[in-house]
Amino acid sequence: MEVTANATVSVDDARRRQRAKERLYVLCQTLGWSLFTVMELASTLAMPNFDNDRSRSDQLSALIMMVTMGLLMTHFFRLLMARWSWKQMNWRFLAPRILLAAVVGSLLWNGLGCAYTRGLLREAWSPKYSFPLLFLISWFYGFTLMAAWLCLYFFYHLFERLNRSEIERFQLMTSVKEAELRALKSQVNPHFIFNSLNSLRALIGEDPARARQAVTQLANLLRYSLQSGQLETVPFEDELRVVNDYLALEQVRHEERLRLRLDVAPDTLQLPVPPMLLQTLVENAIKYGISPRPEGGEIAIVARREGSVLRLQVTNPGEMAPNGGSSSTGVGLQNAAERLRLIFGAGASLRLRSDAPARVVAEAVIPLSAGA
């Protein structure tokens, strides 16, 4: 089961936005080519060279054909640009493609127009102007129209992309702040403090040295939770260190019921991860895999770099529910999954799955940059 925050709402919103964009595209195409038709029609009717009804009807027929071909060609441009991912390019790579598309489009548009008017309608060229000059003028006019259409189309998508990036940036800032508060609440909540202090009180008389160590570990945990809230990512080594402190404090309470197995590749220690991600997975594993079981169990932390991704796995004893979930409410994991998506993009994921009849695995996949 893949954990996502408000997945159904997000899909519905994406569909609504896509439908709205399609309606806007149809509206702009209709209005733009209608305006072009009206302007050309007014120019055609105002010309003084119409001395009979046949020449007038032929000219109007040619205009309708040219408008239809222009509409179809620009729509075909849109399909090709989507297929070739032009909308994701920057202007340095996009500008020559726009010019080339406008050149080719205008040649094709005017070539079809000449074939229609001179081939099907049998119109003769005016003796005042040579064919190359007239075709060059028509081509330049068509090139201007095609280039203007392409630029307007890309200006719209550029503005949309910038607007979407700005929205995602604010979402990320909000998510990071919310994650900071959630992490603070999950670590410094009254139950955790109460349990830790009770364990420390028992240790003071039984094992003063271990009590001092536990106080240091608690201080490290609180300090990290405060400092990491200002960061988007931290080295995995830092996250692993604070999780070790967290587990040490939990072992004071659970004693032999909580066992830990670490399988961490050395090349993962400096890779970037969101702060509190691993701690969220471990806390979820203890809360729903260790605490409810009288015999306790083993928490396993596995970290591997696989090509261009970092794969983190936290395994705990337990059973998946019949609906594919676990006994966990999933809120903490949903928040972590949303934070992963906002920081690392669509390539990041967080999944909860059953790995064996009595074992549950929380797996985070984090894309790495080229230089990581």
> What per-residue confidence (pLDDT) applies to 189?
47
Strand partners, 314: 301, 362
Strands 297-306 and 349-356: unpaired
- What token pair was written down for 338? 């949303």
| Residue 155 to residue 140: CA distance in whole angstroms | 22
Contact 299, 259 (CB under 8 A): yes
Sheet holding 349-356, edge to edge: 258-264, 297-306, 309-317, 359-367, 349-356
Backbone angles phi, psi at 350, to 5 degrees: -140, 120
| Residue 177 to residue 174: CA distance in whole angstroms | 5
> 60: Cβ–Cβ under 8 A, 6 or more apart, which residues?
41, 44
What are the pLDDT digits (tens) for 274-330?
Answer: 888 898 899 889 888 888 888 889 999 999 999 899 999 999 998 775 544 444 445
CATH of domain 188-367: 3.30.565.10
> What per-residue confidence (pLDDT) applies to 263?
94
Q: What is the pTM of this model?
A: 0.50
> What per-residue confidence (pLDDT) applies to 316?
92
- What token pair was written down for 221? 């945990």
DSSP 169-187: HHHHHHHHHHHHHHHHHHH
Query: Which amino acid is it at 77?
Result: F
Report for 70-74, 225-229, 347-351: range of highest mean pLDDT:
347-351
Q: Is 49 helix (H, G, I), strand (E, B) or coil?
A: coil
Calculate mean pLDDT across residues 88-99.
81
Tokens 């209709």 appear where? Answer: 30
> 172: Cβ–Cβ under 8 A, 6 or more apart, which residues?
232, 342, 343
DSSP 197-263: HHHHHHHHHH-HHHHHHHHHHHHHHHHHHHHGGG-S-EEHHHHHHHHHHHHHHHHHHHGGGEEEEEE
Contact 304, 271 (CB under 8 A): no
| Residue 192 to residue 190: CA distance in whole angstroms | 6
Q: 198-220 b/e with 16+ CB inside 10 Å = b? A: ebbeebeeeeeeebebbeebbeb
Cite the residue boundaries of each domain of the chain with CATH code 3.30.565.10: 188-367
| Chain centroid offset of residue 154 CA | 20
Report for 18-27, 60-69, 184-193, 308-317: range of highest mean pLDDT:
308-317
Question: How many CB atoms are closer than 10 A to CB 372?
Answer: 12
Query: Which amino acid is it at 163?
Result: N
Which of 88, 89, 69, 67 is closest to 77 using CA atoms? 69
| CA terminus-to-terminus distance, the chain | 29
Contact 335, 3 (CB under 8 A): no
At 201, the pLDDT band (50, 70, 90 cuts) reads confident
Answer yes or no: is pLDDT of 112 > 50.
yes
At 138, the pLDDT band (50, 70, 90 cuts) reads confident
DSSP 297-335: EEEEEEEEEETTEEEEEEEEE----TTS--SS--HHHHH
Q: Which of 12-26, 264-278, 304-318, 325-339 has the lowest mean pLDDT?
A: 325-339
Query: Which amino acid is it at 89?
Result: M
- What token pair was written down for 300? 């396993």
What's the mean per-residue pLDDT of the chain? 78
Residue-level length of the chain = 372
Answer yes or no: is pLDDT of 51 > 60.
no
Q: Is 273 helix (H, G, I), strand (E, B) or coil?
A: strand
